[in-house]
Each structure stands twice: as structure tokens, then as C-alpha cells.
Structure 1
Amino acid sequence: MRSISDTIERLARARANAQGGTYRPSTLTRLDGPVQNPGQLTGWYQCPDNPASPPALVVILHGCTQSAAAYDHGSGWSRLAEDYGFAVLFPEQSRQNNANLCFNWFQCNDVTRDKGEILSIREMIASMVDLHGIDPRRVFVTGLSAGGAMANALLASYPEVFTGGAIIAGLPFGVASTVPEAFDRMRGYGLPSSTMLDAKLRNASAHEGPWPTVSVWHGTTDNTVSDANSRAIIDQWLGVHGADVGSSEAQLLDGGHALETWKDASGRDAIEHYRIVGMGHGTPVDAASGYGRPAAHMLDVGISSTVHIARAWGLTPSFERREKPAASDAPGAKSQPGQPQMPEGVQQVIEDAFRAAGLIK
């Protein structure tokens, strides 16, 4: 008779193969229970070995039907963190809380400051800071779909905790309080006005300091969460950053994808909006980057949201890692994307120099 662990292992392999991915055991470690866990969530983490300075932390929230390990496997976050020396934390939903493993972004008791699931996640972050020496000035959050909506709820409810956030195929904060309302908002129906969205954000906490930056990602053919939600998220955050809806800068990216950015009063890029042309519901990945693999709701569209988000947060260099051109190459010839990346030691020297100069924290 097969053991339970052997059965679980075989089922995991079968599920990975069914999703088109190659099975790889998770490298994440279970986080010891935080002081408070009213949302009854489980935490999984990875920290760099012997970091020279307190590492940054990225909190990553999976989507419905996903697990922490599956989302990590598809997005490549832990592999990127290992290469660049920051920590990752994956809160994980249970079927006892939600039969589809969705974070309960539409339940008031789970998205109100110091209650439910968002308090559980806040306590996990505190545990990471206390037990693993995380730099509390460099904490970020991202998530997909229901995880993206929950990431937005965390940014709204605990803006003092986060330096930045990235919302992928998610929804604005505070727009639904029942399951029917949640489905209507996902379809783009009944979204509040920009004035009401701004008020919901400001009323979520008593925050008076600087606000976290926000990156919004959405596919133009998403039939699960309407693209109208991405514009509503931006409307929700423009006011606190002192930005005007008509003050954005736009650029066209490779593949025809569009990026729009808004600056705050200090001139910092505070809000960015990636519209991924032809992409449905999921997280954009680029298998050629070496970070992430296509799977269910992990869509290989030739652009890695993981790499772009980490770069915008200063966790990786703001330039492409490239090989040195061969001597026979023509002057000015560019290397191709997806080539081997900069050695870790060189990266550490560059980061230390930037930090000493006060250019990054």
C-alpha cells in the first residue's frame, strides 16, 4: 500500500503535468504561526543565506484554485529572490475559508484593518521582520486576481507597512461586500466613481505619511475580471499621490503592450499601468527570462511581470543583464534577451555601491 506522502507526491506531479509545467519540489519553508492569525492562513517563505544587510521582503498572494507553491513555480519569484538576495513570503488560503482557495477580498471582516485575513498577513510580515531580520522599510506586496484584490486591500489598510504594491488582474479596494457584488464588479458592473474610490482608500486607515507606489497589470482580453477594474484601481490611487488622470506618460513596449505612468508631486513614478495586449486572465510570464513557467493562469506572453515589478522596486538592476559582446561583434550591437545573467557577486558590488551613494535603500 502506498503511503499518504507518496500519494500526495504523485498527485502533485500529475497536476503540474496537466498544467503544462515541469514538476519541481517547492523550496519554500513553512512560517511558524504568527502571534495573531484570525484569518487562519498558512505562510510559506524563503530568505537569503547570510545577507550582508537586512533584506527586502516581497509578499506574494496566489489566485483562486492556486497554492503558494504553484504560484511560485509559475511566477518565478523565489528563484529571482535567490539570485538577487531578497526574501519572499507566500500567505496561503485554505478550503475551510474558501472552497475555491480565493482570498476573501469581498468580505468586510477580512479586509478591514486589524481584522481577519489581512491581519493574519500583517502578522506574518511582523514575524518575518522579527525572526528573519527583514528591512521594514522595504516591504512590498503583489498578487493575482483575488490575490491582487487582497494585495490592494493590504496597501489600503496598512499603507505605512508597504513601500510598493503590484496588482495583477485584480480589483479596487472596498467595492464589494457580498458574493453577488463581487461577481458584478469582476464583470465591470457597478464600479464606484473615482470620488467614492478615493474616499474608500482614505478611510481605510488614519495614514498621513507617504503612500506606497502602485503597479497595475491587466490583460486586454480578460473575460474573468474586466479591464475596467484596472482603470478603477488607478482612479482609486491618483488622489493620494496628487496625480491628475490626464498627466500620464505613455509608451509602447515590445509585443505591442502599453505602459502608462503617473508621477506624484515629488516627480517620482507613483502609479504605472501595464496593458498586456491579447492576454486573458492570469499573470504575465516569460519563460525565456529564466523566471517563471506557463501553467494555469500563468500566461507566457513574452513579458515577465515578476522581473519588471522587481526591477521597478529596486530589487534587481534597472538595466538588462547581458553577456559581453564578442570581439567580432559590430560596435553598438545589442545582445539578445534571455542570455545568461550577471554573476551574483558583481550584482552585490553594484547594489552595495548604489546603497552607499544613497541611491537605493
Structure 2
Amino acid sequence: MREAAQQLINKGIPLQRKAERPAMRDINSPPPSAAPHAPEPAPAPLQTPNPATHPAEYAQDILNRMGISLDFQANLDRAIDFGSLLHPTPAQPITEGAQFISGSYTNHAGTRNYKLYIPANYHGQAMPLLVMLHGCTQNPDDFAAGTQMNQLAEEMGCFVVYPEQNAQANHSKCWNWFSAIDQQRGQGEPSILAGIAQQIIEEYPVNERQVYVAGLSAGGAMAVIVGTLYPELFAAVGVHSGLPFASAQDLPSALTAMKRGVHSAAKAGNPAQPIIVFHGDSDTTVHPVNGEQVMAQRLRHHRGARPSVQSGAVPDGHSYTQTTHLKPDGTPLGEHWVVHGAGHAWSGGSASGSYTDAKGPDASREMLRFFRTVS
């Protein structure tokens, strides 16, 4: 039960407020021979569980104090993709001559494993590097399968690295975007993720002016953080169903941001760093207003930016609205794609991975196209 509560909190499952209940009374009178009751001692004062040692109890206590109750039976299946856990994504077939190899990086903040895709057309030449951050409950193989980014790496010629969150750092394998320590340069998970990118750069001939970071959901929120904190390393950022930089500092504020957006987006990072955002307007896990706020946060210092809006539709799929923001000289600052009718899933993804929606425009292809445009 405690594990389910933590999973629901991490994924932002809809919550239900407690209904008012009448006071309870004892309808059974005591037997005639029963001795009189001694006065009951005063109740002990409420104690808040320690969030460091009992995170699940702490979260439940917060929800109780807020007057919120979780409907476990109704929401448990939505909290975690049990199918992907019971039947893990099999290793994906790769192009002959390509490699999908495992690696690891360690610094003072911890250790994370990763998988690196090296396309078959790599023969020692310098190529771009894309860091892909998965969503909750996912892993590198699942995320690669769903986004089909490895296939596009073959087509466009780039390295793709997939860092993996571990269950010790977050039970649902979410990147800890809502933790204050993980929103600081040189600290926590951002330092690890930047370190992974730097390790690949040192081991392979990466074009250092073409290093990008992108992610989905919790991974999208972390991509914003990493790109914001390390603008000299990452040339552009891709965000799918994510949230603005420093949009939460703890679990309660994370729930609020996911459901309603943030009251005011903090000033963040290098305002010149281009960004591309995808969000489904029927997303009930991370409210689509977050996509608008990611863009507003990045464009804060570009009041002269000119938006250009166009609409389209995927044959037999979703329609979408694409807003491109340009500097006065025509240089792209960002793109915001709103996919109409889409939920919390990677747009244009493959059903071979989790949290994908094949009916949308191809977010993977559009992100790589955008990255190449702004480099």
C-alpha cells in the first residue's frame, strides 16, 4: 500500500477529496456487569513522519492533512505500467554494424548506468550527441523502442545515450525533478547527467557544438533542469510532456504543478538556448499549461520574438498546432507543438515501447530536425 501511494504521488494520479463523514458512535451498550471505564488519556499530539527515512508515510501524512484521499483500487493500474514490469521490453533489433552498449558513470552524487547507441554509419567521424531521459517506470530499452530514436540516429548520423534512473534513487524510476538538491549545478542528478554527456564526449569524437538533451514527463522536466544548469554543454533542449525549471521543491508543490501548472515560472538559464516543446492537450497527468509555461520561461527575455502559428494534421491521426518563435533576424528561439486529443504519451511513438501515441506528429523526427536547424 505504501509503495502504491508513492507510485501514485510520483506519477501525479488524479486524487479525490475525502467525503465528510458523520461522527461514529458505539451502538452496542456494555454488559451490566462491566466495570466503569477509567477516563481515557488525552490523545498524543500528531507527529509528522521524517521525509528522509519514511517518504511514503510522509507523503500520506501530507495528503491526509490536505484532506485528500487516494482511491487505490480505481487508480492503481494507472499509477504504474505493470505490463512493462511483468514483461520487460525485449532487446530491440539494431541495424547491422551498429552497437547499443552499456556504460556507467559515477561522481560524488552517485552512480547511474546508461546505454549508448552508436549507428552503423559511424566510422570515426565527429557526430552530434543526444541525451534521452526516460519517464517514470521506463528504462533505456523501453524508451529507445518507443521513441524510435535509434532508427533516426541511423538516418541522421548521431550518438544517442539513454541514462537510466534506478529504483534506489526513486522507487518508480522517476528523475527527481521536484527535489531542491536536484535543481542545482554541480549537485544531484543534473551533475550525473551532465557527467554522462561529458564522458561520452571524452570517449568518442562528438561535435561539442551539437550536444542536446530531451526527455518525456519526469525526464522532460529533468531535461529542462539539466539544459538550464549546463547551457555551455547543451546547445538545445527537447521537452515532451514536461514542466518548467524549478516548478516544485517538494511533493505537495509537485502535485500542484502537475495538475495546475506553476503560479509564476522562475527566471532560468541561458535565454538564448533554443527549446522545442511537445504536449498533448488532453494530458491528465501533466497539465498542458506546463508546456506553455516552459516556453514562456525560455522566452522571458525575448520580448521582440515573433510567433508564427501553423496548424496541421497527421493522416488518420491527431491534429496539431505548431507555434514557432523567431528572433527579429529570423533565428529560431523555440517551437511549441500542441497535439490535439493526445494524452500523456510520446507523440508519433511506437507501440513497442510504453507511453506512446502513434497518431501524433513524429516528436522524435521533429526534435532532431529542430536541433539541426538551431546548431
Q: TM-score range by the shorter chain?
A: 0.7 to 0.9
Q: Does 1:250 align with 2:321?
A: no
Question: Which stretches in structure 1 are left out of the alignment for 5+ residues?
Answer: 1-13, 287-291, 316-359
- Per the TM alignment, residue 271 of structure 1 is displaced from its structure 2 partner at its CA by 1.0
- Per the TM alignment, residue 43 of structure 1 is displaced from its structure 2 partner at its CA by 1.8
- Give SS of 2:276's match: strand
Paired position in structure 1 for 2:92:
24
Q: Does 1:150 align with 2:222?
A: yes
- Which of 283, 298, 304 is 1:222 aligned to? 283
Question: Which stretches in structure 2 are left out of the alignment for 5+ residues?
Answer: 1-82
**Cα deviation 1:204-229 (Å, max 9, x = unaligned):** xxx6xx73210010001000000110
- Give SS of 2:357's match: strand
Measure, in 1, the Cα distance between the counterparts of 2:197 and 2:360.
Answer: 32
How do 1:332-347 and structure 2 match up within 5 A? none
Measure, in 1, the Cα distance between the counterparts of 2:220 and 2:161.
Answer: 15
Which structure has the highest strand share of the two? 2
- Paired AA for residue 312 in structure 1: F
**Structure 1-normalised TM-score?**
0.73
**Cα deviation 1:180-202 (Å, max 9, x = unaligned):** 1101100015x133xx52x2x04
Q: Does 1:231 align with 2:292?
A: yes
- Paired AA for residue 280 in structure 1: G
- Paired AA for residue 307 in structure 2: S
Structure 1 vs Structure 2 CA RMSD? 2.4
Measure, in 2, the Cα distance between the counterparts of 1:168 and 1:248.
Answer: 20
Contact 2:345–2:355 (Cα < 8 Å) also in 1? yes
How do 1:55-94 and structure 2 match up within 5 A? 55-94=127-166
**Cα deviation 1:225-278 (Å, max 9, x = unaligned):** 0011011111100024x2457x31100112421100111244211111000010
- Which of 257, 273, 280 is 2:343 aligned to? 280
How do 1:1-361 and structure 2 match up within 5 A? 15=84, 24=92, 28-34=100-106, 36=107, 38-48=109-119, 50-51=122-123, 53-189=125-261, 191-193=262-264, 196-197=265-266, 199=267, 201-202=268-269, 211-240=272-301, 242-244=302-304, 247-255=306-314, 256-285=319-348, 292-293=350-351, 295-314=353-372
- Paired AA for residue 249 in structure 1: S
Paired position in structure 1 for 2:28:
none
- Paired AA for residue 112 in structure 2: L
**Structure 2-normalised TM-score?**
0.70
- Paired AA for residue 250 in structure 1: V
- Per the TM alignment, residue 33 of structure 1 is displaced from its structure 2 partner at its CA by 2.7
Q: How many residues align?
A: 284
Contact 1:17–1:23 (Cα < 8 Å) also in 2? no
Measure, in 2, the Cα distance between the counterparts of 1:46 and 1:23.
Answer: 13
- Per the TM alignment, residue 283 of structure 1 is displaced from its structure 2 partner at its CA by 0.6
Q: Structure 2 vs 1, CA of residues 79 and 98 (structure 1 numbering), >3 Å: closer, same or farther?
A: same
Contact 2:304–2:328 (Cα < 8 Å) also in 1? no
- Per the TM alignment, residue 313 of structure 1 is displaced from its structure 2 partner at its CA by 1.7
